[in-house]
Chain A
Amino acid sequence: AQSVSQHNHHVILSEAASLELGCNYSYGGTVNLFWYVQYPGQHLQLLLKYFSGDPLVKGIKGFEAEFIKSKFSFNLRKPSVQWSDTAEYFCAVNAPPGSSASKIIFGSGTRLSIRP
């Protein structure tokens, strides 16, 4: 079965600082990878996704993530954070359609707090 680990539970940064949130997964086969964001009081939104191709994927709001297969990692980055990026960030993994593991499994989440 697949699993996802997010080692940073709570990250506190000042505005304009650079961000990197770690995500590692365990699954032996081909995977699809996602980052979701949940702003305070709002529902889950997709930030970006990796299915195949270029391992560096760009998402909304200036976020990007890099898939490193050899490290089973999919870290989220943003060069300069804003106060409005304060939210909970979830890394997720699933297997492609047709696989018995084709259901999204979430990491424990990382709470990001940005100081104005």
Chain B
Amino acid sequence: SAVISQKPSRDICQRGTSLTIQCQVDSQVTMMFWYRQQPGQSLTLIATANQGSEATYESGFVIDKFPISRPNLTFSTLTVSNLSPEDSSIYLCSVKRGAPDNEQFFGPGTRLTVL
């Protein structure tokens, strides 16, 4: 398995500000993902964080709103910019090691509340 930590675990932010979430994995992984889980909803994939290149965003998510960095194989950050109350969610980091192991592991999540 992979042990994933996220910082912060929770935060309360004001409208218009930004929050950067860090994801650290205890071993090198090939793929890292960021998901959002809005209150009472399922998980929605925001983007795939690519090491050394721009992230790949899913439909409905853009780089200006959710800039992502992945400087190496064990670390990634997600920034949620220009916050509004609709951004209140749990943000989860997820990783996969790659073939032949196709299991995906999830971090504990960061609970964001925007006032």
Chain B interface residue count, CB cutoff 8 Å, equals 21
Beyond A43-B109, A97-B98, is A106–B42 a contact (Cβ under 8 Å)? yes
- Judge whether A115 is part of the interface by a CB distance below 8 angstroms: no
Size range of the chain A interface in the assembly? 20 to 34
**Which residue of chain B is the closest to A49 with respect to CB atoms?**
B103
Beyond A43-B107, A43-B108, A43-B109, is A105–B45 a contact (Cβ under 8 Å)? yes
Query: Is the pair A44, B42 in contact by a Cβ cutoff of 8 Å?
Result: no
Main secondary structure of the interface of B (DSSP, over half): strand
A106 to B41, CA, bound (A): 11
Query: Is the pair B42, A108 in contact by a Cβ cutoff of 8 Å?
Result: yes
- Judge whether B77 is part of the interface by a CB distance below 8 angstroms: no
**Which residue of chain A is the closest to B97 with respect to CB atoms?**
A97
Query: Is the pair A96, B45 in contact by a Cβ cutoff of 8 Å?
Result: no
- Pick from B31, B43, B108 the residue with the most CB of A within 10 Å: B43
A67 to B10, CA, bound (A): 37
**Which residue of chain B is the closest to A43 with respect to CB atoms?**
B108
A54 to B98, CA, bound (A): 22
A102 to B104, CA, bound (A): 10
Partner of A46, one of B31, B44, B103: B103
**Which residue of chain B is the closest to A36 with respect to CB atoms?**
B106
Query: Is the pair B31, A96 in contact by a Cβ cutoff of 8 Å?
Result: no
* Distance of A68 from chain B, by nearest CB (Å): 20
**Which residue of chain A is the closest to B98 with respect to CB atoms?**
A97
A43 to B106, CA, bound (A): 8
- Judge whether B89 is part of the interface by a CB distance below 8 angstroms: no
A39 to B72, CA, bound (A): 32
Can you list 21 contacts pairing A with B, beta carbon distance less than 8 Å? A32-B102, A34-B104, A36-B106, A43-B92, A43-B106, A43-B107, A43-B109, A44-B43, A44-B92, A90-B43, A94-B104, A97-B96, A97-B98, A97-B99, A97-B100, A102-B102, A103-B33, A104-B45, A105-B45, A106-B44, A108-B42
Interface residues in chain B, defined as those with a beta carbon under 8 Å from any beta carbon in chain A = 31, 33, 41-45, 48, 92, 94, 96, 98-100, 102-104, 106-109
